A and B are shown apart, each in its own frame.
Chain A
Amino acid sequence: MNKFKEKLKIVTTGILQGNPTFALFIGMCSVLAVTTTFSTALGMGLAVILVMIMSNVVVSLIRKLTPDEIRIPVYIVVIAVSVTIVEMLMDAFTPVLADSLGVYLPLVVVNCIIFARAESFASKNTVLDSFLDAIGSGLGYFVAVCGVGIVREIIGTGTFGFTNPFTNIELFRVTLFPAEYAVSFFVSNAGAFMILGLLAAAINAISGKVIKNRLKKEKAAKAAAAAAVKAGAQ
């Protein structure tokens, strides 16, 4: 049970207190660029999760074979190949989405989140842990891009919709308020910054409370244990 909790913690850390976008503020460029609509944000989020899983697993697999002096170039090759594979797959199966992501899809190669996880986690941990870390950090990025995308689309256009990336058919579009009340500023990059800041504040407030509660519980448990030991000694 403890092992399961440990593994779960690896995943949840990447989503909440270790969220690459909201807590560590890395990999921000693509978050601002591809979040004009929810559909493109979702595509980018999934692409990054896939790349992270591939690179983290491979880096972890070869961690004992890789000489320390050339580990950086090796990681770069692994990440570049992972991105190129995902790019080819998206060009083949979701061409419209790949077009709308444009240059930001190949630029995932230089996304700090992926390199940071490969260097700081995958190169030192087992394949399973690295896989879980990729899922956690990938989901953290996914939550960030989708969150910003949803808020930007709703406030900026007054509508919310989703397009199937495989068929390019719009599955639904809901008008939440008339277009004349939409604030187009939030579709711009400056608006994206503002939304990102507000969402980061909200997420940090929530995760701060979670951490505080956890520390309180741990402190109380320790105090109870100490009291029990003292009572036993007397």
Chain B
Amino acid sequence: MKKMIKLPLFLAVVCVVTTGLLAAVNAWTAPIIEQHQLEEQNKGYLQMLGLENLNGKAIETTDADETLASKGLTKKTVVTNTADDTVFGIVYDGSVAGYGGKSSPIVFQVGFVDGYYSGFNYLSHGETPSVGQAKVLDTLNAYLTGTDVALTDNVSASDDFAVDAAFLTMTAGATVTKSKLVVALKASAVDYLASI
């Protein structure tokens, strides 16, 4: 009987002490880890906006509103010039289900500066490497960067999104990858035009 109490009690004491120790280390390291993650995230935003650093800029990230969220966008990051409080650029984070489905969605970022697409970057995906990834994800950055958002033919007209016929040619054969992604890109373009 004595053993039946002593053994679990000893294990419980060990667990309590170790939990306390872990909590103390976590309290010390968590803010540092959070800071690193924020820096990494900001690095992605800088890359999307073609910036080397955030000198003279303020950055504010908010969760996407209902309209944007319904189109697959998750966050909106507005970078403003601190001198005159004008918008320098906007980066949208998104996550849409492509050919890989909901279990491995296409997680991406798209940026806009001065009325132009400034970059597209995918962080993870579950697309077929030789089809969805090669035809859409790997080529989209080069294709979109520098394109005038105002030239987007049907940015506010239909649910399809095509800057020109070349985009449709490029994505032929990878329509599943394209379909949800273009809806999200279009929504980000529409929101960007409304925000500047």
Contact = CB atoms under 8 A, between A and B. Distances in A.
Interface of A: 62, 65-67, 69-70, 73-74, 77-78, 81, 84-85, 88-89, 91-93, 95
Contacts of A69: 3, 7
Contact of B29 (A70, A77, A78, A89): A89
Contacts of A67: 3, 6-7, 10
Nearest to B6: A67
A92 B29 contact: yes
Nearest to B11: A70
Contact of B32 (A74, A81, A84, A93): A93
Contact of A88 (B3, B15, B29, B36): B29
Contact of B14 (A74, A84, A89, A91): A74
A78 B29 CA distance: 20
A95 B35 CA distance: 11
Contacts of A78: 14, 18
A77 B32 contact: no
Contact of B22 (A70, A81, A95): A81
Contacts of B28: 92
Contact of A85 (B7, B25, B32, B36): B25
Given A70-B11, A74-B11, A74-B14, A81 B29 contact: no
B36 A95 contact: yes
Contacts, number: 46
B26 interface: yes
Interface string B21-42: 1100110110011001000000
B36 A70 contact: no
B176 to A, nearest CB: 30
B18 A77 contact: yes
B21 A95 contact: no
A77 B15 contact: yes
B contact residues, range: 10 to 19
Interface in B132-157: none
B22 A84 contact: yes
B15 A70 contact: no
Interface in B1-18: 3, 6-7, 10-11, 14-15, 18
A70 B26 CA distance: 27
A165 B25 CA distance: 20
10 contacts: A67-B10, A70-B11, A73-B11, A74-B11, A78-B14, A89-B25, A91-B33, A92-B32, A92-B36, A95-B36
A81 B10 contact: no
Given A74-B11, A84-B22, 20 more contacts: A62-B14, A65-B10, A67-B3, A67-B6, A67-B7, A69-B3, A70-B10, A70-B11, A73-B11, A77-B18, A78-B14, A81-B21, A88-B25, A88-B29, A88-B33, A89-B25, A91-B33, A91-B36, A92-B36, A95-B33
Contacts of A85: 21-22, 25
Given A77-B15, A85-B22, A92 B7 contact: no
Contacts of B25: 85, 88-89
Question: Which interface residue of B11, B14, B28, B32 has the most chain A CB atoms within 10 A?
Answer: B14
A66 B10 contact: yes
